[in-house]
Amino acid sequence: MLVYNTQTHKKEELVPIEPGKIRMYVCGPTVYDQIHIGNARTFLAFDVIRRYLMYKGYQVTFAQNLTDVDDKIINRANETGRTAAEVAEECSNAFIEQMHRFGVLDPDIRPRATHEIEAMQEMIVRLIDAGHAYPVPSGDVYFSVRSDTSYGILSGRDLDQMRAGERVGVNDEKRDPFDFALWKAAKPGEPSWPSPWGDGRPGWHTECCAMIHRYLGTPIDIHGGGADLVFPHHENETAQAMCAWDTALANTWMHTGMLRVDGEKMSKSLGNFYTLKEVLDKYPAGAVRLLMLQTHYRAPLDFSFERLEGVAGTLERLQTCARNLRWAAERSPQDGELNDADRALGRAIDAAREEFCGQMDDDFNTAGGLAAIFSLVTACNTYLAEAADDTSTAVCLRAADMLGELAAVMGIELSRSAGDDDLPVALVDLAREHAGYEGDSASDAADALLAARQEARAAKNWGVADAIRDGITVLGLVVEDTAAGARLHRKE
């Protein structure tokens, strides 16, 4: 399995540190607001990477932090008259809620910066003792980038060249303009914790490094985040690990491309800024996933509502195919010998899985993986149309299961039932009135209504046929005619 490593600029064979196990960490959000769809793109990419590693049989341990103390949180608290802890708590809960809606698996470990002060201070003490960090009179502690001979190893930046080209903030207390704060002295009114250097709070780059060391051990197999984190955040993380414990922080560094809206950078000032919440309020999570996964995780992703509209139909096609297969399986007579068409679909199922894995083994090529899923959809639709009512139950079920299995790696849930899972109970009353139905199951009522409608049409009893159709429409349902017969489902 090949994975692109930012540090070496090439695809490398993934060789786990411990056979069969992968330890991975993805930098989490700073919790001061709802996350936007750019953040969501990154979290989705690593969700699918994790799911695929699990699908391949690895035992994956996944950690992701919540940055719950930061200037942005403190500013938001001051603007809204709340404490920083209140803002962080509310936004952490909102983040977790939206991740659940999006179908992103919970991390195995979710450390919060404010709960890890001790681990961070221990690391800072080690760095000071080894001569890689220094406290200054104001109470800040800085990491000395010059003390780390490998500084720049991840991003490929050279401190001397950057000096010439870039303006960096001037701070008299720093020995070098690129030195960064491991610990920040408390300003009045800010959250703070006691430390050997006076009251203060940790710097952002400090937290991930200390958490990784504490919860996963260093080095880990995979460290990920958006491409905007390569420098300085991840460069600074790996520098601390090298200097504190003499190990790299991660063997493989993975970075996602940035999300753009309508070809432009997404930003509040351009008015093309969308939160994940507002997008999920309007579109199914599966459609947003499909759109994002059509682009390779390392490439920039162009988001537009136009594309999303189109993809919603693609998702429907996948779901309908799986339902049709299960429907056909329920309706088909007992299996006899498999015929040529059955065997051809059987081969298409195996080929789709092989193609899917081949694509995903190549640096998680989700676009290729999706193409493999949809080539199976096409094969299934052709089979269902041509076989009409002579389908094989076993082959239909195997095809539906394979679609479900591969879609699940993409985090897309397909229904395991032949019909709509949530037909309204009001169908029961309608069927009692028009179809002499006496039970209380919505799906049986749907079958009874469709049979009664069919009978009424055959008898040219248009009044009854129309009354049934109108009643169905009022409930927000449509009649779908499939090769294996008519059935009801919810209008999208």
* Among ligand AMP, Zn ion, none, residue 208 binds (CB under 5-8 Å by kind): Zn ion
Q: By CB under 6 A, is residue 30 in contact with ligand AMP? A: yes
Task: Please name the residues in contact with 203: beta carbons below 8 A apart, sequence gap of 6 or more.
Answer: 180, 181, 182, 183, 184
By CB under 5 A, how many residues form the interface with Zn ion?
2
Q: By CB under 6 A, is residue 293 in contact with ligand AMP? A: no
Q: By CB under 6 A, is residue 258 in contact with ligand AMP? A: yes
Tokens of 482: 């499939």
**From the CB of 276, what's the least distance to ligand AMP, in Å?**
11
CB closer to Zn ion out of 44 and 210: 210
Check if the beta carbon of residue 169 is closer than 8 Å to that of residue 179: no
Going from the C-alpha of 36 to that of each of 107, 229, 312, the distances in angstroms are: 19, 16, 20
- Find, among 26, 407, 75, the residue nearest to 222 by Cα: 26
* Among Zn ion, ligand AMP, none, residue 241 binds (CB under 5-8 Å by kind): none
**From the CB of 258, what's the least distance to ligand AMP, in Å?**
4
- How far is the C-alpha of 455 from the C-alpha of 461, rounded, in Å? 8
**From the CB of 65, what's the least distance to ligand AMP, in Å?**
10
Q: By CB under 6 A, is residue 225 in contact with ligand AMP? A: yes
- How far is the C-alpha of 361 from the C-alpha of 340, rounded, in Å? 31
Which of 182, 212, 229, 311 contacts ligand AMP by CB under 6 A?
A: 229
* Among Zn ion, ligand AMP, none, residue 226 binds (CB under 5-8 Å by kind): ligand AMP
- How far is the C-alpha of 56 from the C-alpha of 373, rounded, in Å? 17
Tell whether the torsion through CA atoms of 298, 303, 309 and 310 is positive or negative.
negative
Q: By CB under 6 A, is residue 69 in contact with ligand AMP? A: no
Q: By CB under 6 A, is residue 29 in contact with ligand AMP? A: yes
CB closer to Zn ion out of 257 and 471: 257
Beta strands 301-303; 259-261: pairing state: parallel
Convert residues 192-221 into a mask of x (bound to Zn ion by CB under 5 A) and - (unbound): ----------------x-------------
- How far is the C-alpha of 402 from the C-alpha of 349, rounded, in Å? 7
* Among ligand AMP, Zn ion, none, residue 256 binds (CB under 5-8 Å by kind): ligand AMP
Which of 41, 205, 213, 487 contacts ligand AMP by CB under 6 A?
A: 41
Which of 125, 266, 397, 467 contacts ligand AMP by CB under 6 A?
A: 266
Q: By CB under 6 A, is residue 438 in contact with ligand AMP? A: no
* Among ligand AMP, Zn ion, none, residue 6 binds (CB under 5-8 Å by kind): none
Task: Please name the residues in contact with 99: beta carbons below 8 A apart, sequence gap of 6 or more.
Answer: 43, 106
SS3 content of the chain, % helix, strand, coil (to 5): 50, 15, 35
Which of 226, 369, 411, 471 contacts ligand AMP by CB under 6 A?
A: 226
**From the CB of 420, what's the least distance to ligand AMP, in Å?**
35
**From the CB of 115, what's the least distance to ligand AMP, in Å?**
18
Residues 9 to 28 in contact with ligand AMP, rule: CB under 6 A: 27
Q: Give bridge partners of residue 188 from the DSSP assignment.
A: none
- Which of these segments, 49-57, 253-261, 439-447, 479-487, binds ligand AMP (CB under 6 A)? 253-261
Distance of CA 138 to the CA centre of its chain: 42
Going from the C-alpha of 259 to that of each of 38, 301, 366, the distances in angstroms are: 5, 5, 16
Beta strands 220-226; 250-256: pairing state: parallel
Type of residue at 137: P
Which of 27, 91, 244, 376 contacts Zn ion by CB under 5 A?
A: 27
CB closer to ligand AMP out of 38 and 191: 38
Classify residue 280 as exposed, middle or buried by CB count within 10 Å of its CB (0-12, 13-18, 19+). Answer: middle
Contact residues toward Zn ion (CB under 5 A) are 27, 208
Contact residues toward ligand AMP (CB under 6 A) are 27, 29-30, 38-39, 41-42, 225-226, 228-229, 256, 258-259, 266
